[in-house]
Amino acid sequence: MAENEKALWDRRGFLRTAAASTAAGALPTVAQSTDDEHDHQDLPSDLALRVKALESLLVEKGLVDPAALDVLVDTYENKIGPRNGARVIARAWADPAYKARLLADASLAIAEVGFTSGQGEHMLVVENGPKVHNLVVCTLCSCYPWPVLGLPPVWYKSAPYRSRAVIDPRGVLAEFGTHIDEDVEVHVWDSTAELRYIVLPERPAGTDHLSEEQLAALVTRDAMIGVAKVSPPGEAS
């Protein structure tokens, strides 16, 4: 499989598997997991090939538009999902009492805003500060707080990120354009099926006059994973 085709498969695999399995009259089983049973394994190659073959057939018959599927996945990966988390972060910045509740019991505080699901019953928020920077990874697979971050990005699931985030976190951050001073500690948090982490980024300077909605617009998915910082208004992230 060519590299670009592999990238497309990685990016759309989740929705394709669900759609293909439904079309075939059965729900996906290998990719599914519960809090009690989480095998941390990728889809078997034979299932991936069957899904790819079914997708190719549907595309050939004009029943599926790959471009439309890309747009759908991008929407959930980068817009709808992360916007939920951005609202949580903005409220924590604007409301000290809510921030205290968020740091004490993230799942309960996030539920206050209306975000909860089977992939986010147990969440923990870790706060960045002047001398601490937090980075989230899942070293075994791709455990991720879906209710507040949406679909995990392809790089988050990749083997290089999962291994190097632990071995060389500063190097990984630098590759994302995030340079951490030597006197700042970098803490790496390993998400699991039982506990998923979210970073509470530092509030950028010059934002005291902004509303929660305006603050939320500054927060990115990458900042809530920890590979980026939140930029002040008018500056690129």
Catalytic residue among 21, 107, 143, 191: 143
78 phi/psi in degrees, rounded to 5: -120, -15
**Higher confidence at residue 86 or residue 17?**
86
Residues 132 and 17 in one domain: no
**Higher confidence at residue 131 or residue 3?**
131
pTM, 2 dp: 0.70
Residues 44 and 123 in one domain: no
Residues 91 and 130 in one domain: yes
Confidence band for 70, pLDDT divided at 50, 70 and 90: confident
pLDDT at residue 118, as a whole number: 55
Q: What is the CATH number of the domain that holds 126?
A: 3.90.330.10
Nearest to 102 by CA among 47, 145, 45: 145
Residues 46 and 90 in one domain: no
Q: Is residue 72 part of a domain?
A: no
Q: Is residue 21 part of a domain?
A: yes
**Is 45 an active-site residue?**
no
Total number of domains in the chain? 2
**DSSP classification of residue 62:** T
Q: Is residue 71 part of a domain?
A: no
Q: Is residue 30 part of a domain?
A: yes
pLDDT at residue 47, as a whole number: 60
Catalytic residue among 45, 138, 163, 237: 138
Percentage of the chain lying above the pLDDT 70 cut: 73
- Per-residue model confidence as pLDDT tens digits over 197-230: 999 999 999 999 999 999 999 999 999 999 999 9
Confidence band for 125, pLDDT divided at 50, 70 and 90: very high
24-33, 92-101, 193-202: least confidently modelled range: 24-33
Residues 172 and 92 in one domain: yes
Give the contacts of 201 (CB within 8 A, at least 6 positions apart): 89, 128, 219, 223, 224, 229, 230
**Higher confidence at residue 61 or residue 90?**
90
Catalytic residue among 45, 141, 191, 231: 141
Residues 93 and 60 in one domain: no
Average pLDDT, the chain: 80
> Alpha-carbon torsion 56, 58, 60, 62, what sign?
negative
Query: Rounded distance, CA 182 to CA 197, Å?
Result: 24
79, pLDDT greater than 70: no
Nearest to 230 by CA among 220, 132, 101: 220
**Is 56 an active-site residue?**
no
Single out the residue in 31, 64, 97 at which a domain terminates: 64
78, pLDDT greater than 60: yes
- Per-residue model confidence as pLDDT tens digits over 155-200: 999 999 999 999 999 999 999 999 999 999 999 999 998 899 999 9
Catalytic residue among 33, 142, 211, 231: 142
Residues 169 and 95 in one domain: yes
**Is 142 an active-site residue?**
yes
Pairing of strands 185-190, 123-127: unpaired
Encoded amino acid at 73, one letter: V
Confidence band for 103, pLDDT divided at 50, 70 and 90: very high
Average pLDDT for 95-117: 91
Residues 90 and 60 in one domain: no
Domain carrying residue 151: 84-225
Q: Is residue 92 part of a domain?
A: yes
Query: Rounded distance, CA 92 to CA 210, Å?
Result: 13
Residues 101 and 186 in one domain: yes
Nearest to 133 by CA among 170, 98, 91, 175: 170
Q: Is residue 77 part of a domain?
A: no
pLDDT at residue 48, as a whole number: 62
